[in-house]
Structures are given as C-alpha cells and as structure tokens.
Amino acid sequence: MPKVLISDKMDPQAAQIFRDRGVDVDVITGKTPEELKAIIGQYDGLAIRSSTKVTKEIIDAATNLKVIGRAGIGVDNVDIPYASAKGIVVMNTPFGNSITTAEHAIALMFALARQLPEADASTQASKWEKNRFMGVEVTGKTLGLIGAGNIGSIVASRALGLKMKVVAYDPFLTPERAIELGVEKVDLDTLLARADFITLHTPLTEQTRNILSAENLAKTKKGVRIINCARGGLVDEAALKEGLESGHIAGAALDVFAVEPAKDNPLFGVPNFISTPHLGASTSEAQVNVALQVAEQLSDYLLTGGVTNALNMPSLSAEEAPKLRPYMALAEKLGSMIGQLAHDNLTDISIEVEGAAAELNIKPITGAVLAGLMKRYSDTVNMVNAPFLARERGLDVREVRHDREADYHTLVRVSVQTSQGERSIAGTLFGNANPRLVEIFGIKIEADLDGHMLYIVNTDQPGFIGAVGSTLGEAGINIGTFHLGRREAGGEAVLLLSVDERVPEELMRKIEQAPGVRIVRALEFF
C-alpha cells in the first residue's frame, strides 16, 4: 500500500480521500527541515502547501518518494529541477483557486476605482471627507490582461459582464481562443497604450520577470491603474512607486510582492496604493478545493499511474493510463534496444506513431522511449528524469504523427542519427496489449523483447543457426526463442535469441569470430 505524508495544514477531507482510496496517510505538520528529513524516507508521496520547503537535502533523504503534490499553484518552495533529476513527479492544483484569485483581482480593481481603503480609513477617523474621494466607473473602460490563461480568462469574463472592453497580451493566446473569450488579442505595447486598468495573470519566468519594468510603465496611459494577484516580481516595485508619486499611475493594488512576507516595502504608505498579504487563494471554498484536488491527483498517480497537472512530465489521466500503458511498455523497450545498439554519441532522436497510436497522447510514449534510451546513462532513470537527462546531453527530440495506411494497425518507430547514418527500429502491439518488435534497421523481424537476449548480424548462409545453437549449448546456455530476419537471400541477416542467462563476454567473442558474423551484442530487457 502506498504511503503519503501531509506535511502542511490542509482541509481534513484530503486525508480522508487518501484513506478511502486505499492510500496510507500520515498528517504530521510543523516539522523543522531536520525533523522532516528524519521521516521522509518512508513515504511514496508528499502533500504540501507553502510552508514545507522541499529542498535538495529533503529530496536526498526521500529515498522512496515518487510524487510531490502542492495544494495550490505556486511551487517556489520545491526544487523542481532536482526533483526531476531524481525522477520525482511534481504536481500542483492550478484550477482549485482560479475563481477565488480572479475575484480578488476584480475586488482590487473596484477598490482602486473608488478608493475604498482610504475612504474607509478617513470615515472611521470621523473626517467625513465626501468631496475628497472622486472615483471612476469601470463601465466602458478598457481592461488590459497580461496573461489570458485559466485565471486571466475568468477575469476577462467578469470584466465583460461589467461592460468593460478587454484587450489581452499572451503569446500563447490563439486568435480562435481570443474570439471565444470575447477579447481582443494585442501586442504588449498596444495594451500598455490603451488600458485604463491592467491586471497580471502570468507565472514568473525569465521572460515575464519585471514585464512591467520602468520602461514599460512609462508606456502606459496616464491615469492607469495596475493590479497584480499573480506573482511578485512581475512589476518593478521601485518604478511603480515613482509612477504613483509622479501621478502618471493613478493607483496600484498588489497582492504579491518580490519579497514575501512583505513587511518593509517601499510602496507602503504611498498614496493610492493598496496591498493585501497574498490573499488571492484565501477563501474557504478554494482551500477545500485544492486540498481535495491534491489528494485525488496523488492517489491517481500512486494507484493507477494517472498524471494530472504535473510540472515536470506529460499529463496522463487515470482514464488514459490503461490504454497507454501497453504503448509505454513497447516504447520503453524500443528506446532501450536502440540505446543498447547505437553506441555513438547520439544527438537526434525521432519518435513516430501511426495507426491507432497516432490517435493517442504522444507525450507519455516519448517519455517512455527516452526512459528506455537513457538507461545507458543512469540506473535510476524513469519517465520523469529521462527528458531532463536527454536535454542535459543535448539530445534533440522530434515527435511525428502519421495519418496513413500501414502494414500494422498500430506502430511506434524510433530513429536516431549515428555515424553510420540513420538507424531505426519499430514495434507494434499484438492483441492491443503485447509489445512486439517488427523491424530493426530496415530488416523485418518479429520478436518479443524480454529478459536476456543476443543480437547477431551475419551474412545469410546455411548452417549458421545450427552453429550458433551448438556453441551456446556447449557452454550450457539455454535458448528460449529465436527470431530471424534478412534483407535478401544470401544478404545481411539478423538473429535475435532469447536466452536464460546473460551470455559471457568470452563466448560472445567466440561467436563473433565465426565466418560471416559482423556484430554480436548482448541485450537486456527487464
């Protein structure tokens, strides 16, 4: 039975979901890093919020850990590259607090438009400054969305309901999706020039850091109001302060800051500035939602192999997993075989699918191929760290789908570039379940890839198979199955033998010295 640790406070229903689904769960919160290191080694899964810091040291101590689940969006507290290198899946729950965060952005927009915090403070101070607080309507104003993903699209929907015009800057927003959302897709400079209000809804990356820089803030319309409920670091806080003090920026509301907790920020006390302490996801509904989602996601992964909202591997739903699992087994065997046979420093690999395979999610198939291939470099490789290892070695990965008639109802082909040119192998599924090799380096051959095997390339000639069988028999090596393929009579031939044990190196050299033999390789598939 898999075992999960919940190390941060979250809704009790999360622990109950684990128990109901047959996962052993411990709820142990408030541990120091040293205390967590002492216990983490016994767990397969770790469910966290923002308090637990999953550092390199914690990951090194987590010898059985397979998956980390963050109840929420931000994973700044997880060393994702190191987790990936260790083969640990990292998930978040990006949709559980989407409505809550979007509503907070809208709330801050209204607060800015009507100067609500300052008016409240003034009134409670018995000043009754009715003429001091002159707000603006949002109706008819232009809202500029920087980021039109899940949360941004909800903000757009709410803004359109308020009769605002919405323009959006998002490199990943397609024209079709923009029409569907009812927004106008624009470049960043156009958004900055036209927007009366700007809201940010993008992750913090090297491309988005300080996207509202001093230079870009200077391009905004005079009197603009800026709201950030996404990530600290998207706005240059020093430049924002200057814009507020000069009057170019009419107001700003930040729920997130470059340094958190933000207890001493230069924006504090600046007129027309509103701040909240990272409350975007802070509603009772959101906290329940993310807790339930992280429990479901971790359970799916540990029990069925389903991968949802993973940040370091392709998603694979619990419904997809059973259908894809045979393909992933085939793909891993093909990757392993080509990794064992192609000994060059590989720079390119192509994964092609056709027939029924072309209708599936190709990403898990690619991940399985790379996992098989990368076994030549690491004995702890899996689908999570295989792409990481491939990138580390400069391997260029290409995926191709073919919509064409073929000899097999489904086919996966793996090709690599070597010093001898392209080398390609292909496999199919028999009965939609059993992986089978059907082609190797242009030669048709059908074989199961399992256990210890011997791969021999030779010139097709009478008596060769008997000679190999006799040589192995004299050495006490039992042959399980043998599979033959050739280009043409008397031409290049391939022999694949399954044997009950690994063939010793000296015996392979003896076979290699036989007349007509070109290559002898021992293969392993476990």
Phi, psi of 500 (to 5 degrees): -80, -15
Residues 197, 170: contact at Cβ < 8 Å?
A: no
Neighbours of 423 (CB within 10 A): 18
Neighbours of 123 (CB within 10 A): 13
- The burial of 71, by beta-carbon neighbours within 10 Å (0-12 exposed, 13-18 middle, 19 or more buried), is given as buried
The Cα 91–Cα 308 span in angstroms is: 7
DSSP summary character for residue 375? G
Q: Which of 49, 231, 423, 452 is catalytic?
A: 231
Q: What is the 3-state secondary structure (H, E, C) of 45-65?
A: EEEECCCCCECHHHHHHCCCC
Q: Which of 260, 285, 319, 422 is catalytic?
A: 260
How many contiguous H segments (helices) and E segments (strands) does the chain have?
A: 17, 22
Residues 471, 482: contact at Cβ < 8 Å?
A: no
Q: Which of 49, 201, 278, 452 is catalytic?
A: 278
Is 521 part of the annotated catalytic residue set? no
The Cα 48–Cα 69 span in angstroms is: 6
Q: How far is CA 400 from CA 300, 306, 359, in A?
A: 29, 24, 12
Distance, first Cα to last Cα, the chain: 23
Is 158 part of the annotated catalytic residue set? no
Length of the chain: 526
The Cα 497–Cα 456 span in angstroms is: 8
- Half-sphere exposure at residue 193, Cβ-oriented, CA atoms within 13 angstroms: 5
Is 231 part of the annotated catalytic residue set? yes
Return the active site residues: 231, 260, 278
